[in-house]
Chain A
Amino acid sequence: MMSLLEIENLVVSFPTENGAAHALNEVSLKIETGETLGLVGESGSGKSLTALAILQLIQKPGKIESGKILWKGKNLLDLSPKEMQKVRGKQIAQIFQEPMTALNPVLTVQTQLTEVLDQHFPELSKKEKHQRVVEILKQVGIPNGEERLKNYPHQFSGGMRQRVMIAIALLGEPELLLADEPTTALDVTIQAQILKLLRDIQSARKLSVLFISHDLGVISENCKNTAIMYGGKIVEQGLTTDIFYSPMHPYTFGLIESIPGTQKKDRLKAIRGSVPQLGQFPSGCAFQNRCDFAQNACQNLPNLSARQGQHQVRCHFPIKSEQSA
């Protein structure tokens, strides 16, 4: 069966002093209809760039070098800019991380919501557009939506702003939502509300979601499948339960061990060092210089290969589950 979205061997590069650096390298992902795929990684791992690449929003001088982004079997990279505009915001929509910078501060919420309908449903009458806007605000749980239409973004709290962002994303009636750290800027109680809202909307509309986050807790509660990124590559992917119960890549293992628990641990097992800058990752396995299990073989790039069922890992020396217990 054809996947809703299938990314094949996507390569995105940025020029650096030492030539083109691959910010995304051989990234392959699949999202099925109604599925939530979690994409996890630290700053600079390439997770946000993956979303931008899908919508072809990568800023110059960055560019997509090769690969395919198959949307219902059709390669989005073959579309003209005009055709792509009909996909962007309509079939695939994005919720950005920081609602304060993603919303225009000098336009009312009504203007920003109606803009989506003007773009994608120009045939609707003014009255119909107004109805849809009011309806969507109700759906995302903004009280007194009709009265708040004339408000500006700064008159909303962070959580309410994120609801406006979600409303904007939903107005085009997309089939796939790219949620890039949608709750990172929010307090934990508000985060719980927004996550519930996303889950409700998703099941009501049979939406697929690419859920990007660095928060492993948020990912593990919301995603059926998860992909872990490091250095612009997928290093591990599979069922979320498999990944969290028996992580195989030392990076995934390190991320999980780094989280302070609700139980007191003696000492956190941090990952040493930090994520290198773009173009300064070691050749071969990108993680080798921070890895406790690295050997000479790691100077050659390992393949992403299935070890157990669907559970894939890009590592010469994957952790066996007894070790990670």
Chain B
Amino acid sequence: MSALLKIENLTKRFSQHTAVNNVSLQILKGENLGIVGESGSGKSTLARCALRLIEPDAGKVLFDEKNILEMNRSELKDFRRHAQIVFQDPYASLNPRMTVQDILQEPFAIHKKSIQKKTAQDRIEYLLDLVGLKKDYLSRFPHEFSGGQRQRIGIARALMLEPSFLVCDEPVSALDVSIQAQILNLFEDLQTKLNLTFLFISHDLRVVRHLCQRIGVMYQGEILELNTADKIFTHPETEYTKKLLSSIPQVISR
């Protein structure tokens, strides 16, 4: 399998603080790569650099062999059709004054002005169904939905332009555990149906374990270890990973 995204020696500083320090990794086509770390480890900064939502200070981000850091405006816009993001907070990431219809239509307005109205509407309704929402929700506003439903809207919006690569930055951390399970199942279904590649950011090792084939553990801006999910859980190599694993509160069960 070839790499869809390659990050090479990526560094991002905020004044004196180095948020991401010389990180290199690859995400293969069709793979889910998980990045775990605690607050301040640099995982969200890494995710945003991977989409050039913030400008890294050094390094390369190659998407399909092309360095997105060297792209001009129109090339970058084209790249973003293929690479989308689902944000952490479903309350903050939807415009409260737009209806679901407007929210889902906006990607077309930005990227494909020429798309036929009918085609666009079909796509909106198809995705709404795919993420498990009803068609009559289209005229409603974000505040009328629960957290889980809002996250479904955010996911539908991210998928509107048929991206091949999806960055998910803590997409379930604001949700109750029963709803979290629904959304994790939805991610799995979407991946099978739509052939997606995920970069999945989370502080919750169990969530990442559930969805990802490989996991990178991040600490103070660096990837401490990167291995298959099985290896990370059964044979962690660094003390920090061991500490993370032993800190997970265990549910007693048979």
- Of A264-272, A295-303, A306-314, the segment with at least 4 beta carbons within 8 Å of chain B is A264-272
The distance in angstroms between the C-alpha atoms of A296 and B64, with both chains bound, is 57
User: Which residues does chain A contribute within 8 Å of B246, judged by CB atoms?
Assistant: 192
Within 8 A of A (CB), among B113-146: 146
- Of B25-33, B72-80, B82-90, B176-184, the segment with at least 4 beta carbons within 8 Å of chain A is B176-184
A217-B250, A244-B251, A262-B248 known; A189-B38 Cβ under 8 A = yes
Within 8 A of B (CB), among A33-59: 42-43
A274 CB–B CB distance under 8 Å: yes
Contact with B along A245-268 (1 / 0, CB 8 A): 100000000111111111011011
Within 8 A of B (CB), among A146-188: 158, 187-188
**Would B178 and A217 count as touching, CB distance under 8 A?**
no
The distance in angstroms between the C-alpha atoms of A66 and B103, with both chains bound, is 45
* Interface size classification for chain B: 35 or more
The number of residue pairs between A and B whose CB atoms lie closer than 8 Å in the complex comes to: 114
User: Which residues does chain B contribute within 8 Å of A274, judged by CB atoms?
Assistant: 146, 148-149, 179
Nearest residue (CB) in B for A240 is: B252
B44 CB, min distance to chain A CBs, angstroms: 14
Contact with B along A190-230 (1 / 0, CB 8 A): 11100100000000000000000011111011000000000
Within 8 A of A (CB), among B153-178: 176-178
Of listed A191, A245, A254, A259, residue having the most chain B CB within 10 A: A259
**Would A245 and B253 count as touching, CB distance under 8 A?**
yes
- Of B7-15, B48-56, B93-101, B203-211, the segment with at least 4 beta carbons within 8 Å of chain A is B203-211
**Would B252 and A268 count as touching, CB distance under 8 A?**
no
- Picked from A215, A262, A268, the residue with its CB within 8 Å of the CB of B181 is A268
- Picked from B38, B177, B243, B244, the residue with its CB within 8 Å of the CB of A42 is B177
Nearest residue (CB) in B for A245 is: B254
- Picked from A217, A241, A245, the residue with its CB within 8 Å of the CB of B248 is A217
Nearest residue (CB) in A for B149 is: A274
- Picked from A241, A256, A268, the residue with its CB within 8 Å of the CB of B185 is A268
Nearest residue (CB) in B for A269 is: B181
**Would A258 and B39 count as touching, CB distance under 8 A?**
no
**Would B188 and A259 count as touching, CB distance under 8 A?**
no
The distance in angstroms between the C-alpha atoms of A144 and B169, with both chains bound, is 36
Nearest residue (CB) in B for A321 is: B254
A187-B38, A220-B252 known; A275-B177 Cβ under 8 A = no
* Interface size classification for chain A: 35 or more
Nearest residue (CB) in B for A190 is: B38
User: Which residues does chain A contribute within 8 Å of B177, judged by CB atoms?
Assistant: 42, 214-216, 255, 258-259
The distance in angstroms between the C-alpha atoms of A218 and B207, with both chains bound, is 16
**Would A188 and B39 count as touching, CB distance under 8 A?**
no
The distance in angstroms between the C-alpha atoms of A43 and B174, with both chains bound, is 11
B201 CB–A CB distance under 8 Å: no
B157 CB, min distance to chain A CBs, angstroms: 20
A189-B38, A260-B206, A268-B210 known; A221-B250 Cβ under 8 A = yes
**Would A258 and B250 count as touching, CB distance under 8 A?**
no
The distance in angstroms between the C-alpha atoms of A191 and B203, with both chains bound, is 12
Within 8 A of A (CB), among B177-234: 177-182, 184-185, 188, 203-207, 209-210, 229-230, 233
The distance in angstroms between the C-alpha atoms of A325 and B254, with both chains bound, is 8
B247 CB–A CB distance under 8 Å: yes
B40 CB, min distance to chain A CBs, angstroms: 9
User: Which residues does chain A contribute within 8 Å of B207, judged by CB atoms?
Assistant: 260
Q: What are 12 A-B interface contacts by the 8 Å CB criterion?
A: A188-B248, A214-B177, A216-B177, A221-B252, A244-B253, A245-B252, A245-B254, A257-B181, A259-B181, A262-B205, A262-B248, A271-B182
- The 8 nearest A-B residue pairs measured at CB: A217-B249, A270-B181, A258-B181, A260-B210, A187-B38, A271-B178, A268-B181, A42-B176
